[in-house]
Structure 1
């Protein structure tokens, strides 16, 4: 894992620059106007500055309920429901900063952090998010999910309560753009507020007699 100050996401191909992916929730793929198309995103980096930080909150997930009116143990399966989880992204520019003339931030898509490590390194999400002042919210992608085995005693009802931890972050960003026509470079800075990831899902079973 590269350190924070060494880690840079390099986007060299102009075709990738202002591309828009349907599954990333932004504008549809299209040809930017001539002025906006003259800018190339060279890199974007993230860091934790004074006042930045990571917060964790425990969320309730959809649970489950199983009843067994028989005289023998009933073995059931439950599929965890993560459909309510989303990844949010919001960029704000530093006070007094504006984008260079002709650079339409609503058309620019960039990678955002998906995890932050104690050594100040980070990884990025596989999807791109628009570098604009509008919040973007996409379904969160769960890499792997397994069914739960639930044993329901005879003449009993089992209620499953499910929770998960959500990690959100406020961090600083720096994006460097190159004007393809003039070769000049412009830097914009600001804050990124968004969802890093979800982790530590828990399932608690409570038994009740029927």
Structure 2
């Protein structure tokens, strides 16, 4: 049902200019998940040396947080541009509920809900612009180590805002003026400067596991 919903939105929603773009990739990931696609996570040599047990078979598909957050918002916004059904709406709500639960599970209550807040601010009506920005944001996400991804995803999602260059200045000024602690999600060390993101445009994404 979700697979067909994505295809229907991709076909009928006028906001989606590129019918072969990132959004359609959501249908592929959904299909692989329904097929029970799985990956065996192999141990590193260090893990083998200390006798750790095998990870075993891991079910699911690999999806990067910035990608699924953009795809799901385009899905939500796309429903407003044609005569969608309750099935389309229901499938979208189910996906959003899964994402919300996963954000809180992965990032904790406070950060998870802050991510949900900024995720919901993404405007799928500018699908082309969202996908253009995802190009550099995805590249940045893949360059980070695990801890950086955990600490800096909120700021990265906030950077999709057209006003991010202004927000970046405001947030970094607040830290300098000691209006919030250095470990705040919008502290300078957890943000990427707008010009640094611009420099990553058209950069090939590296394997985020590296």
The TM-score, its normalising length taken from structure 2, stands at 0.20
Greater relative contact order: 1 or 2 (C-alpha under 8 angstroms, separation 6 or more)? 1
TM-score, structure 1 length as denominator?
Answer: 0.20
Higher helix residue share: 2
The structure with the larger Rg is 1
